[in-house]
Amino acid sequence: MMQWDSLWLNLHLACMDDGYGEVRNAAIAVKEGKIAWLGQQRDLPSYTALKTHDAQGAWMTPGLIDCHTHLIFAGNRSNEFEARLNGVAYEEIARQGGGIVSTVRATRAADEAGLMLQSLPRLRRLMAEGVTTVEIKSGYGLDVQTEARILRVARQMQRDAPVRIKTTFLGAHALPPEYAGRSDDYIDLVCNSMLPTFADEGLIDAVDVFCEKIGFTPAQTERVFQAATALGLPVKLHAEQLSDQGGAALTARYRGLSADHLEYLSEEGIAAMANAGTVAVLLPGAFYFLRETKYPPLAGLRAAGVPIALATDCNPGTSPMTSLLLTMNMACTLFRMTPLEALQGVTCHAARALGIAAETGTLAVGKSADFALWAIERPADLAYHIGDNRIQARVFAGEVTFQ
């Protein structure tokens, strides 16, 4: 006799383990926060369950995973958005102290409570769309105390809310004003002070760099990667967003978890990622908001078998969005990904991009009972609808967070 904590009946599963991994007329059981059984309802063994839910024909997917966000920051940059649309050039905005630096200034001025107050609503909007895991990067502090504050707020969010938060240190996001003209000195601070201090406090799950002409060079990126590797931390990279810096190939050399953006990714970069198992994270929100015209090489990534993940890239400058469902529609509409690829991109492939594929990202016995239930006719509906959230219930580690 199986003894379960909860059982979900009368539903269809998209397990996402092999394509959609559809199981129709299914049931799924939970014990101690993990999936204990799943299959066709007619094959249920004899059981007892403390709680039984009738899903009334809903579809169930793994909880969605947003594997690339900068969602902890203060202030916003709608003023720049309006100025640009009134004809003010980027350069003029930057000269007036706009851009990343203006968000850095606002974030440095906010305390932990202020950052939590401004950032928690963004996390909750993601969770309202069935997101059960969120990656949150630092990168708007650019000094020891503020970078630490962002990472501590991220850890606090996981303690306060029913969600899995993976933190990524992105101290090498931009050059802080006080280091103008001294980028190597700032990389020294990142490698010799920030990284060991934050790793020692257990604040970091992965390390990222913005490798770009307007960011940091491949050589500086490699210095950060070496420091991260010495601390046993995995790496990922903002790579080939605006130009080909060879960042994806560098990340593959360090067997990095993911290379992200990739509009300017080369054939060599694709091959290197395929060989290393590095996940391609595409960010259609930034592509759309910047009105980018260079598309990431989807056909090449597909042909090489590189896993493709998707994320909101939630940030105030280039992707002020908190909808992973809209991200899926953008990936299909703008990048021509299929609905299946889009759903893989926010479940199984996103889990790989965070190094947590053993824990979540598919519906499988032994994995965390992270689910989302949807009032849809087929899994493709999730990428098809625009601004029409069909969620019926969200479950994290077996606990129903809303239904």
Which residues lie near ligand DI6 (CB under 6 A)?
A: 99-100, 103, 173, 210, 238, 241, 286, 315-318
Q: Which C-beta is closer to ligand DI6: that of 129 or that of 240?
A: 240
Q: Shortest distance, CB of residue 259 to Fe ion, whole angstroms? A: 12
Q: Which is nearer to ligand DI6, 7 or 100 (CB)?
A: 100
Shortest spacing between CB 383 and ligand DI6, in angstroms: 23
User: Smallest gap, in angstroms, from Cβ of residue 168 to ligand DI6?
Assistant: 12
| Least distance between Fe ion and beta carbon 139 (Å) | 8
Smallest distance from Fe ion to CB 128, Å: 22
Q: In whole angstroms, how close is the CB of 66 to ligand DI6 at the nearest point? A: 15
103 binds, among ligand DI6, Fe ion, none (CB under 5 to 8 A by kind): ligand DI6
Give the bridge partners for 74, in sequence order: none
| Three-state secondary structure of 164-201 | EEEEEEEEECCCCHHHCCCHHHHHHHHHHHHHHHHHHC
Residue 175 binds which entry of ligand DI6, Fe ion, none, CB below 5-8 Å type-dependent: none
Q: How far apart are CA 220 and CA 35, in angstroms?
A: 43
Q: Which is nearer to Fe ion, 147 or 370 (CB)?
A: 147
Query: What is the separation of C-alpha 303 from the centre of its chain, rounded to a whole number of angstroms?
Result: 24
- The label of the residue with tokens 């947590």 reads 356
CB nearer to ligand DI6: pick between 105 and 378:
105
Find the angle CA(235)-CA(372)-CA(65) to the nearest 5 degrees.
Answer: 10
User: Measured from the CB of residue 183, what is the shortest distance to Fe ion in angstroms?
Assistant: 19
CA dist 164 and 394 (Å) reads: 13
Asked whether 65 and 360 are in contact (CB, 8 A), the reply is: yes
Per the listing, tokens 């799950």 go with 205
CA distance 97 to 101: 7
Hey, what amino acid is at 362? T
Site string for Fe ion, 106-145 (x = CB under 5 A): ----------------------------------------
* Residue 263 makes contact with Fe ion by CB under 5 A: no
- Give the residue with the Cβ less far from ligand DI6, 220 or 360: 220
Identity of the residue, 66 or 313, whose beta carbon is nearer to Fe ion in the bound complex: 313
Q: Which two tokens stand for residue 386?
A: 């625009």
316 is in the binding site of which of Fe ion, ligand DI6, none (Cβ under 5 to 8 A by kind)?
A: ligand DI6
Beta strands 206-209 and 34-40 are: unpaired
63/317 with CB nearer Fe ion: 317
Helices 100-109 and 144-160, axial angle in degrees (round to 10): 70
Binding status of residue 313 toward Fe ion by CB under 5 A = yes
If contact means CB under 5 to 8 A according to the sort of partner, which of Fe ion, ligand DI6, none does residue 164 touch? none
Instruction: Give the nearest distance from C-beta 86 to ligand DI6 in angstroms.
Output: 19
**Amino acid (1-letter code) at residue 257:** L
Would you say 316 or 379 has its CB closer to ligand DI6?
A: 316
Q: Is the separation of the CB atoms in 251 and 239 below 8 Å? A: yes
Handedness of CA 22, 65, 399, 390 (dihedral sign): negative
100 binds, among ligand DI6, Fe ion, none (CB under 5 to 8 A by kind): ligand DI6
Using CB positions, name the residue nearest to ligand DI6: 317
Residues 370 and 376: their CA atoms lie apart, in Å, by 19
- Nearest residue (CB) to Fe ion, 61 versus 119: 119
Helix (H) or strand (E) holding 351: helix 348-353
How is residue 351 written in tokens?
Answer: 């889990």
CB of 217 to Fe ion, least distance (A): 18
Which region, judged by CB under 5 A, interacts with Fe ion, from 90-98, 215-223, 306-314, 355-363? 306-314
Would you say 112 and 145 are in contact if contact means Cβ atoms under 8 Å apart? no
Contact of residue 392 among ligand DI6, Fe ion, none (CB under 5-8 Å per partner type)? none
Smallest gap, in angstroms, from Cβ of residue 30 to ligand DI6?
38
DSSP labels for 205-222?
SEEEEBBSTTSB-HHHHH
Half-sphere exposure of 305 (CA within 13 A, CB side): 4
Minimum CB distance to Fe ion smaller for 263 or for 313? 313
- Give contact residues for Fe ion (rule: CB under 5 A): 313
